[in-house]
Amino acid sequence: MIGPMGVGKTTVGRKLAKALKVAFVDSDSIVVQQHGPIPAIFKDLGEPIFREFEEAAVKTAIAAPGVVATGGGAVMSPKTQAALKQTTVVYLSTNGKHIGSRLRGGTRPLVKNGVADWKRIYDERKPVYEATADYIIDTSDQSLSATVAEIRKRLNI
């Protein structure tokens, strides 16, 4: 799964994996397990190093069968885009109306100015999400269960 930060890739991914009785992997979790907290990586090593760690994490995550949630910016890497072409990619899109509450109190290093930063980043990344995706699921006005059901229907699983 790909999509902007805060759209629910991890939450949807976990529920989908449980319904399908397959493994769930979050590429950000792999980065954290191997290298420490993401905000610390950004602060101490910088975004380019984080993106290298992220490329490796996505490649590891998609190597095994299951449901994978990628970080919001993972898809911006040409290496990650190439790796994702080897699998089925679902883009969780949104109109952003629920993002403010999801970002509040968070530690996401790229959204220090909240929704304004999120919107700018999403607008920049949206064409890449669309070009990379095999399926686009609009999560804006549907429940978690409805999103999972739509993914299953679209993927015929």
Q: How deeply is 154 buried, as exposed, middle or buried, from its count of CB atoms within 10 A (0-12, 13-18, 19+)?
A: middle
User: In whole angstroms, what is the distance from residue 109 CA to residue 128 CA?
Assistant: 21
As given in the structure block, the two tokens for residue 118 are 């999120």
pLDDT, mean of residues 138-145? 92
User: In whole angstroms, what is the distance from residue 31 CA to residue 27 CA?
Assistant: 6
Task: Give exposure, 96-125, as e/b (b: 16+ Cβ within 10 Å).
Answer: beebeebbeeeebeebeeebeebeebbeeb
User: In whole angstroms, what is the distance from residue 4 CA to residue 75 CA?
Assistant: 10
CB 79 within 8 Å of CB 73: no
Mean pLDDT score of the chain, rounded to an integer? 90
Which residues sit opposite 138 in a β-bridge?
93
Higher pLDDT, 57 or 98: 57
Question: In this predicted structure, what is the pLDDT of residue 15?
Answer: 97
Tell me the per-residue pLDDT of 21-60, one tens digit each, with 9 for 90 and over.
Answer: 999 999 999 999 999 999 899 899 999 999 999 999 999 9
User: In whole angstroms, what is the distance from residue 144 CA to residue 60 CA?
Assistant: 27
Question: In this predicted structure, what is the pLDDT of residue 18?
Answer: 96
Handedness of CA 10, 20, 63, 24 (dihedral sign): positive
Higher pLDDT, 118 or 131: 131
Give the pTM.
0.89
Tell me the per-residue pLDDT of 101-113, one tens digit each, with 9 for 90 and over.
Answer: 555 555 555 556 6
Architecture of domain 9-146: 3-Layer(aba) Sandwich (3.40)
Helices and strands per DSSP (H, E), number in the chain? 8, 4
Q: Does the pLDDT value for residue 93 go beyond 80?
A: yes
pLDDT, mean of residues 109-119? 69
With bands split at pLDDT 50, 70 and 90, how would you rate the model's confidence at 88?
A: very high
Question: In this predicted structure, what is the pLDDT of residue 98?
Answer: 75
